Amino acid sequence: MSFLINSAARSFQRVCNVKLLAAVRLYSTAGQSGVSIQAGPRTALADEALKIRVSGLSPLQEVTVRAVVISDDDSMFDSSAQYRADRQGELDLTREPSPGGAFTGVEAMGLLWSLLPVPMEVPWRRLFKKDVLKGPQFVDLLVHRDLSERGRIPGPVLAKTRVERWFAGQGVTRTQLSEGRVRGSLFLPAGAGPFPGVIDMYGDEGGLTEYRASLLASRGFAALALPYLGREHLPESLSDLDFGYFEQAASFLLHHPKVRSLGLGAVGTGKGAELALAMVTFLPQVVAAVSISGCHANTGGELRYRDRVLPGLGYKASLARMLDSGVLDLSETLADPCDPRHRASLIPIEEAEGHFLFVVGEDDRKWKSEVYAAAAVQKLSEGGRHNYRVLSYPGAGHRIDPPSSPFAQAVLDQTLGVPVMEGGQPSAHAHAQAHAWGQIQEFLHSNLGGSCV
């Protein structure tokens, strides 16, 4: 019965979202004559910068500029910021500061990275594209009369426009793998190739996440989005993980006719970062690893590769803290990998012949990734290795994604059923994402061959 009630409520909510968005669009017919909003490029990849300008306003007129997105599952996300036009009645978001709203100051992309579920939606959710080839992500941009706060009914719509944010460039193809043991989605750029190959992995929440791999393919990489938990024919828990699966994935990608044979890169976030470090350490096919907010030890279940066994670093649930906000803080729960008692869990990265890029947020509240990266670098240095670089970002949190990816300080954990703290300050995190994305591509190209697209 509860399932039926929840389903009915969800259907009603979706209808409300559609009606609300339709009402917002119709409301624009009552707008102020001559006001227009220009956003460009109107069609672009999701990692490209967007320029937004408003013209035709009265001198020094106060307005609220708003972004609205309907997700793949019909949920509504929005963001808004307050502005004042200049003496010519114009507004350029790349130059004018916002005094209030979802952010303050000059934030040209702020309306995108500050997108959150509207109050009628389930909170603590992050907006991301689930099916990257199912059309673009449409972003409606609206100019409302007067200043309004998020969650309040905004003033009349003076102007509106729509832009398309694509997660796969023209000619990018996707092949969903279902042969043998390897699962996932292989994205290939347009053209004959061969292209530098990259394996892309996310955290232990399970399932398949494609949007970073599809954007990497749009920038000239053959990118394999590789799930390893919670998907068809894959384990349900870390204790059942078989490192041979990752070896087979690397072998498959390296032998693909459109992939360069010079070696692969591995990119990972969270547990995926840890697996990327293990791959560049143990697998000769992998010559470069990007660790985003990862640990330099094996966590969770045991990792076995040939005659090597790395025990899984454990968690202490008693150290979890429920904050006053109702958000769960897990930052102290992972056992200290620097404790000599856990030496056997450390990934022997000093044995790797490949190169490392560590990307960390100094305000990561999910894992102590800054501490882990420093320990990893020390381990490499003590082993006489200088094959690494660290990008450390003040104010950035745990999940450092491609540019303009919506920021979420805490995210609902599907297993625990409560929001979990990830940390970070919105503006600092957004700027970290924009900078890191270019650096990651440069690192991969320099170690896999080729040039940035």
The DSSP output letter for 58 is: P
Query: Dihedral (C-alpha) 356, 241, 132, 15: value to the nearest 10 degrees?
Result: -130
* Phi-psi group of 221: left, alpha or beta (phi > 0 → left; psi -120 to 50 → alpha; rest → beta): beta
Residue 26, pLDDT score: 39
Long-range CB pairs of 368-376, under 8 A, 24+ apart, other chains included: 368/331, 368/334, 369/293, 369/294, 369/295, 369/398, 371/338, 372/294, 372/295, 372/296, 372/297, 372/337, 373/291, 373/296, 375/296, 375/337, 375/338, 376/277, 376/291, 376/296, 376/349
The answer to whether the beta carbons of residues 168 and 46 sit under 8 Å apart is no
CB atoms within 10 A of CB 260: 17
- Assigned token pair, 373: 């990266």
Q: What is the pTM of this model?
A: 0.92
Residue 235, pLDDT score: 86
Per-residue pLDDT of the chain (453 residues; tens, 9 = 90+): 333 334 444 554 554 555 455 445 434 444 567 999 999 999 999 999 999 999 999 999 999 999 999 999 999 999 999 999 999 999 999 999 999 999 999 999 999 999 999 999 999 999 999 999 999 999 999 999 999 988 889 999 999 999 999 999 999 999 999 878 899 999 999 999 899 999 999 998 888 999 999 999 999 999 999 999 988 889 888 888 899 999 999 999 999 999 999 999 999 999 999 999 999 999 999 999 999 999 999 999 899 999 999 999 999 999 999 999 999 999 999 999 999 999 999 999 999 999 999 999 999 999 999 999 999 999 999 999 999 999 999 999 999 999 999 999 999 998 889 999 999 999 999 999 999 999 999 999 999 986 555
The answer to whether the beta carbons of residues 347 and 295 sit under 8 Å apart is no
What is the DSSP pairing of strand 43-45 with strand 157-166?
A: parallel
- From 231, 239, 244, 290, select the one nearest 265 (Cα to Cα): 290
Cα(442)–Cα(453) distance, integer angstroms? 10
Residue 449, pLDDT score: 82
* Phi-psi group of 240: left, alpha or beta (phi > 0 → left; psi -120 to 50 → alpha; rest → beta): alpha
On the CB side of 442, CA atoms within 13 Å amount to: 7
